[in-house]
Amino acid sequence: MATVLGVELDPVRLPWERRLQIIGILYHFWATFVTSALILLLFGWMLLNGYALVVAKCGVWLWWGWDSSCMGAYASRYFLNLRIHKRFTGYSPLSIHPTSQLSADKNYLIGFHPLGVISISACNFMSNGTGLMGRFPNTNFLLCTQVGQFRSPLRRE
Considering only residues 22 and 143, tell me which one the structure prediction assigns the higher pLDDT.
Answer: 22
135 vs 55: which has the higher pLDDT: 55
H helix runs in the chain, sequence order = 16-29, 35-48, 52-64, 77-80, 83-91, 123-126, 132-135
Is residue 138 within 8 A of residue 108, CB to CB? The reply is no
> What confidence tens digit (pLDDT) does each residue in 12-54 have?
677 888 888 888 888 888 877 788 788 889 989 999 998 999 9
The rounded percent of the chain whose pLDDT value lies above 90 is 7
What pTM value is reported for the model? 0.64
CA-based nearest residue to 156, from 71, 88, 43, 82: 71
